[in-house]
Structure 1
């Protein structure tokens, strides 16, 4: 009669001790965090600020307690495989036919596309006015400015979004911004229709990642270069025949990795693309930048002119194609156009690239 309560008490005590044992011995070390979250370090106790320490430690422990990653691994697989739902719905939305989308944790991207976070005409006009000032400053230094928007996958593949998260039929934030910019002399590159046309015959975005795939990147680069050629005819025309395009089996992207589903959910298709030698740039330098968190990259190429490209993560793939059309190219990951950098680089072409969900950042670029 006394064995059962003793066994329950022992089991309960072991369960209480398991998190501390894991933190001390690393029992679940093979389960790493893949949730794309910033892990807070152990807070310091600064007497007499004990209450602040307790609050910070509570947050730290919730994010770092023993077996947390292993428990999330099991929970994620159960919720996705058994219920067909995302274990992190604010970060990742599970769509149809194996498609995954970025969730509202990232600048309310879902609400943006549902028309719940509209861009006002006044905000669009302020962005346009700010960019016009940038354009004038660059023109005085002999550089032409181009604004390039990388569409969200929600825009190009809305048909695979869940039924309850369908896009609004009203003009999108990008539509409102484009309307304001069309009243100016800004060189604005909107490639939504180009990508929609390309997707009839090719997949242009990863199904398990936030970014476009290699083919979509190439199509985007071609559209940008064709727009630049209108002002600078010395830039070589873009021909798809200059690229070896091969289809392969795909891998897992950042969205399924966040859900620890990278072993189960993979893209059915991956494009391997290689330019011919006379359209290939050569990387000459990789410059660390601790302030930005990403290195800057310098290229030489067979073309003419000097390109300064300031962008986000979508620009990474574009480094495989654009340098082949300029004599020198410099790629910087940033949300700011540094005037000192412009004076140093002396570019003939400046491209500001930003993903659609972050177009509000153009107001301070």
Structure 2
């Protein structure tokens, strides 16, 4: 017993000495300006986690199973730490989930009515399907889904044309394309997947907004691919440099190649001037101006990271697009944005796992709803 205790203490001491030594070597050889004397730097375990992950990844074992599930043929999927997405899809829609779904449907209908009272022509919510909703065949056998999925139940409760669910279109398209529509090592769709979803938005708006002009795709949809480093899921496993993925380039860049300007909406300061590019979820409201866009219209776009690949298409279609990261947005702040910006359209682009979250369960403030009814 004493020998085992001494061995454990010796191993612990070796690790406590080795980890800071390796981290200090990393700091000084890369000329990093981090505060190397801080404990969080000296005892950072990322490098060691990466080494362990490299060893166990080929066996299908995730170093962070709550964050990443290792699927078949190199496909990675998000784990249960994010909105209990795996558990909900495995267990099915229970009474609690049904109540949440009903609350979301009512809230979004209230927003639709309120936005209409403010002169907004159309309100749409574009769902970014979870990767496992599109490629369930690559999931481990133990994580198979039940039917119906929560999103299908929500769509049955929703009224009107508020929701745009491109899942069926993306699933059909994946059978026709040589390349995947999602990254294997990332949670997101690629440029081709984003285009299909954007085209579903076009189809939805065409029913009432036939005069809008849209970018036109050409066959084949994808022109070429090139290698890129592993995505966010590979990063969670600390092996993003060891895994690679494919970047898909669309075959019609001239349709969305145009000059743009970015302005911080609150300060008015110009933050970028150049060619139309993808935009990550902004930390603060970002106004993108594209005078050469196809339609002289204003869009308030509440979005998450699923909007990044869709950004060049949105920018090429509408002359003013106000990007707002919606997850931290309160109803009062949304009201203020609408009243100040006075958009023609309000779109939300959200990953599927979040469309039943707190934001979507919150309707317009009561005073504003009452005013809309009176008007």
* Long gaps (5+) in structure 1: 1-7, 33-41, 43-59
Q: Distance in 1 between matches of 2:138 and 2:111?
A: 38
* Of 187, 190, 204, the match for 1:227: 204
Aligned to 2:174: 199
Q: Is 1:308–1:351's contact at 8 Å kept on the other side of the alignment?
A: yes
Give the alignment's TM-score, normalised by structure 1: 0.79
Shift in Å, 1:262: 2.0
Q: Is 1:135–1:186's contact at 8 Å kept on the other side of the alignment?
A: no
Give the alignment's TM-score, normalised by structure 2: 0.77
SS of the equivalent of 2:305 reads coil
Give the direction of change, closer, same or farther, for the CA distance of 1:11–1:295 in structure 2 (3 Å limit): same
Q: Distance in 2 between matches of 1:96 and 1:10?
A: 39
Shift in Å, 1:264: 2.6
Give the direction of change, closer, same or farther, for the CA distance of 1:16–1:200 in structure 2 (3 Å limit): closer
Aligned to 2:43: 66
Query: What is the aligned length?
Result: 324
Q: Is 1:31–1:73's contact at 8 Å kept on the other side of the alignment?
A: no
Shift in Å, 1:297: 4.1
* Of 288, 292, 310, the match for 1:298: 288
* Long gaps (5+) in structure 2: 1-7, 31-36, 268-280, 364-375
Bigger shift: residues 295-304 or 272-281: 272-281
Q: Is 2:213–2:294's contact at 8 Å kept on the other side of the alignment?
A: no
Aligned to 1:328: 320
Q: Is 1:280–1:321's contact at 8 Å kept on the other side of the alignment?
A: no
Q: Distance in 1 between matches of 2:266 and 2:25?
A: 36
Give the direction of change, closer, same or farther, for the CA distance of 1:186–1:324 in structure 2 (3 Å limit): same
Aligned to 1:29: 27
Q: Distance in 1 between matches of 2:90 and 2:10?
A: 52
Give the direction of change, closer, same or farther, for the CA distance of 1:15–1:206 in structure 2 (3 Å limit): closer
Aligned to 1:104: 80
Give the direction of change, closer, same or farther, for the CA distance of 1:355–1:74 in structure 2 (3 Å limit): same
Query: Is 2:237 the partner of 1:259?
Result: yes
Q: Is 1:225–1:238's contact at 8 Å kept on the other side of the alignment?
A: no
Pairwise CA RMSD of aligned residues? 3.2
Q: Is 1:156–1:196's contact at 8 Å kept on the other side of the alignment?
A: yes
Give the direction of change, closer, same or farther, for the CA distance of 1:295–1:141 in structure 2 (3 Å limit): closer
Q: Is 1:213–1:270's contact at 8 Å kept on the other side of the alignment?
A: yes
* Of 124, 127, 152, the match for 1:149: 127
SS of the equivalent of 1:87 reads coil
- Aligned ranges 1:37-56 → 2 under 5 Å: none
Q: Distance in 1 between matches of 2:54 and 2:17?
A: 25
